[in-house]
């Protein structure tokens, strides 16, 4: 083929692409600011991460004491011990404290009379996740058994709302989530446990992750490593751009049950990095930049007294104590909230509210949205 024809074709191609770009730009401009029309939410949970560690950083009582089960005390102290709580918590969760706490809000620091708690009377995972996702406790849920949730989650509810659904998806380390979100009824995509990942932009990377999932030793049969959940969530976000993405991380709870405070701390830092990576990636995409909110919370607390930190149940004080973080363009930068009481049951309506939907009105038993802003939910005088 003569060179001249080739360059003419190339030129014509470039001209066509430029025209197309102009047309797309004109369409977008005509529709107004697309970020105003399309708000998104990323909901993240970190299983069993205590408010004590979130707000105070590494716990001296567990770093050096046999109760913590720390294998290399020196190295662990070097990594996580600092003189002040402010330094320690920023060392443990740098993204939460340098980004979310500065630009968003945090509930649950009992040292500042900020109380967040669960309403269910079980204080373990399935009842907690059901309360987070449905907006109310269900006394019928008394185990972590793989039973399909009789209740409709806010994920399922939002997936059925015109203008939001059906693009809602969940990526979870714990393999009970297909039951909590009731995939049988909801039909939502829920990738959980040691299940192969099926979407990624790079086929060889996808194959590598799935190969590793079969080749690595498994610490827990029902909980995969959070690195896999993180990869699956990010790749889904890239490929499908859901309005609501739920990422459920699991390792901290399991390292705590194993009485390994060192690995518990490591996994918390990893969770923080995973969330930062997902958040920064979302902000790099036009669909999510400056129009996405992030909610981070936990399914239950755990014991506070030294030998009770590993576990959580109704008989262990503190198991009902949680924390909630929120960041987004419509959330005032109030930082650490003080003198306030909120509950786990408020998360579902908050997620819906941030997407412009009134879940609390549709589901009367659900908690009200969190008092994040000076708006219709609070008189201006009492809000901050």
Task: Write out the residues near Zn ion by the rule CB under 5 A.
Answer: 48, 253
Q: Which residue is nearest to Zn ion (CB)?
A: 253
In the complex, the smallest distance separating the C-beta of residue 96 from Zn ion, rounded to whole angstroms, is: 21
For β-strands 168-172 and 190-192, DSSP reports them as parallel
β-pairing, 40-46 with 324-327?
A: unpaired
Beta carbon of residue 358, minimum distance to Zn ion (angstroms, whole number): 33
CA distance 126 to 248: 12
Identify whether the C-beta of residue 244 lies closer than 8 Å to the C-beta of residue 355. Answer: yes
Nearer to Zn ion, 129 or 246 (CB): 129
Contacts of 241 (CB under 8 A, 6+ apart): 167, 285, 287, 288
CB of residue 255 to Zn ion, shortest distance in Å: 10
Is the CB of 226 or the CB of 253 nearer to Zn ion?
253
Shortest reach from residue 274's CB to Zn ion, in Å: 19
- What is d(CA 239, CA 48) in angstroms, rounded to the nearest whole number? 30
Q: Which is nearer to Zn ion, 156 or 253 (CB)?
A: 253
Minimum separation from the CB atom of position 266 to Zn ion (A): 17
Rounded to a whole number of angstroms, the minimum distance from the CB of residue 309 to Zn ion is: 12
Q: Which is nearer to Zn ion, 253 or 272 (CB)?
A: 253
Q: How far is the CB of 350 from Zn ion (least distance, A)?
A: 24
Least Å distance, CB 187 to Zn ion, is 29
The residue with tokens 């009902």 is 320
Closer residue to Zn ion in complex, CB, 105/130? 130
235/253 with CB nearer Zn ion:
253
Distance CA 14, CA 26 (A): 18
Smallest gap, in angstroms, from Cβ of residue 240 to Zn ion? 31
């Amino acid at each position: 083929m003569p060179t001249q024809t080739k360059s003419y074709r190339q030129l014509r191609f470039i001209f066509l692409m430029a025209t197309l770009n102009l047309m797309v730009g004109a369409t977008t401009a005509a529709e107004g600011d697309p970020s105003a029309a399309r708000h998104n939410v990323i909901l993240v949970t970190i299983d069993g991460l205590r408010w004590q560690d979130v707000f105070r950083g590494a716990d001296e009582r567990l770093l050096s004491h046999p109760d913590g089960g720390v294998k290399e005390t020196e190295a662990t102290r070097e990594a996580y011990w600092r003189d002040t709580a402010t330094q320690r918590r920023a060392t443990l969760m740098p993204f939460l404290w340098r980004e979310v706490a500065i630009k968003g809000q945090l509930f649950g620091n009992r040292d500042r009379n900020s109380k967040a708690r669960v309403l269910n009377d079980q204080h373990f995972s399935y009842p907690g996740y059901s309360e987070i996702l449905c907006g109310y406790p269900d006394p019928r849920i008394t185990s972590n058994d793989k039973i399909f949730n009789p209740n409709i989650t806010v994920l399922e509810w939002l997936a059925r709302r015109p203008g939001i659904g059906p693009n809602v998806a969940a990526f979870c380390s714990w393999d009970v989530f297909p039951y909590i979100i009731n995939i049988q009824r909801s039909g939502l995509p829920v990738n959980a446990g040691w299940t192969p990942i099926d979407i990624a932009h790079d086929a060889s990377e996808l194959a590598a992750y799935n190969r590793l999932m079969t080749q690595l030793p498994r610490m827990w049969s029902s909980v995969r490593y959070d690195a896999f959940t993180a990869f699956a969530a990010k790749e889904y976000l890239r490929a499908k751009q859901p309005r609501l993405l739920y990422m459920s991380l699991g390792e901290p709870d399991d390292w705590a049950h194993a009485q390994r405070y060192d690995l518990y701390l490591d996994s918390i830092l990893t969770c923080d990095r995973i969330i930062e990576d997902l958040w920064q990636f979302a902000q790099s995409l036009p669909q999510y930049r400056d129009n996405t909110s992030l909610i981070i919370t936990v399914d239950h607390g755990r014991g506070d007294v030294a030998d009770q930190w590993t576990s959580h149940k109704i008989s262990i004080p503190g198991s009902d104590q949680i924390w909630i973080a929120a960041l987004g363009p419509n959330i005032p930068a109030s930082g650490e909230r003080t003198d306030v009481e909120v509950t786990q049951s408020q998360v579902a309506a908050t997620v819906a509210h941030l997407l412009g939907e009134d879940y609390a009105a549709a589901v009367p038993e659900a908690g009200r949205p969190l008092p994040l802003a000076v708006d219709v939910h609070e008189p201006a005088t009492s809000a901050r």
